[in-house]
Amino acid sequence: MLFSTAATATRVALHRFGLTVLGLQQCSVVLSLTRVSPTSRHSNVCVLPLTMDTVILNVPTLQVVGLAAAAGLLACKLISRRRADDTERGPPPAWLDELEGDESYERIRLPEWDNGTEWRRQNGFKGSDYVHGARAAVHVPRYYLRGVAGGVGSKLVGAAHFGPGAESHRGLCHGGTMCSLMDDVIGWTGFCATGACEPWSGFTVQINTALKKPVEVGAWLRLEGEITAIDGRKVSVKARLLSADGDVHCEAEGLVVLKKS
């Protein structure tokens, strides 16, 4: 027997009256559902005769249902609060906005960063960006490139925020979050081997990272990558993560191999 997804009529009938606050008395829910009978055909037209069936279900009292509803609302509120906490970043550092007006730097723009989850889904992506996604635990909102002809000396600069999801031990972030940033900035710097950014033009194949200083949850830090050498398809990059005061939290050297042209 098949039932349509929408009930044609719904009514609630109480078998007992005078429900007490703590009582566990019962009520019945009576649903009139549309049953679809086997298909018959007349003049090449599919006819679906409909009949009405009634299903009676015993459910707990209104007090219990209300308690379950309240628990569900509380859970939703807690989840929403957690999500808000995970993505509460505050304003980015002022120096990042200053790069927007610096003619020596050009902002790197990608539709998969700027257009959100729906655009990514429609264009073959399976999820959000690990570093540039809106809910990333360690998040880089944008990069700026100071390109140099020939590639060597080209520099990529961005700001990185370490959210609560990056935490490891009592207010300090996991060292792996810094390693993830080194991977990201080295890769994107390597894509700038011509002096201009050519997205997804190569692969990061090696990263040697040195963790210098812990990062506190909530911190905004400066992220830099620079091309130091190019040998054929091999692009050598140095990167670092530092505070506004110049304290270095992480350094790395990496190798990016460009795709064959």
Pair (37, 97) in one structural domain: no
The answer to whether 172 and 218 are in contact (CB under 8 A) is no
Same domain, 124 and 226: yes
Q: Residues 220, 168: one domain?
A: yes
Torsional class of 15: left (φ above 0), alpha (ψ -120 to 50), beta (otherwise):
alpha
pLDDT tens readout for residues 56-112: 545 555 555 566 666 666 655 554 444 444 456 788 899 999 998 899 999 999 998
Shared domain check, 251 and 139:
yes
Beta-carbon count within 10 A of 165 CB: 18
174 and 219 assigned to the same domain: yes
Q: What is the mean pLDDT of the chain?
A: 78
Tell which wins on pLDDT, 178 or 10.
178
pTM, full prediction? 0.67
Let me know whether 217 and 121 are in one domain: yes
Within this chain, do residues 120 and 194 fall inside the same structural domain, yes or no?
yes
From residue 74, how far is each of 69, 84, 100 by CA, in Å? 9, 15, 42
Number of domains in the chain: 2
Could you read off the pLDDT of 102-151 as tens digits, one per residue? 999 999 999 988 888 889 999 999 988 999 988 899 999 999 999 999 99
pLDDT on residue 15: 39
**73 plus 142 within the same structural domain:** no
Q: Categorize the per-residue pLDDT at 205 as very low, low, confident or very high, splitting at 50, 70 and 90.
A: very high
Residues 102 and 75 in one domain: no
**Final residue before a domain boundary, out of 42, 60, 86:** 86
How many Å apart are CA 172 and CA 176, to the nearest integer? 12
| 107 and 65 in a common domain | no
Evaluate if residue 36 carries a pLDDT over 90.
no
Residues 227 and 120 in one domain: yes
The DSSP call for residue 200 is T
Write down which residue in 21, 53, 86 finishes a domain. Answer: 86
Q: Is residue 179 located within the same domain as residue 121?
A: yes
For 61, the domain range is 2-86
Domain finish residue from 86, 106, 123? 86
Q: Determine which of 11-25, 160-174, 223-237 has the lowest per-residue pLDDT on average.
A: 11-25
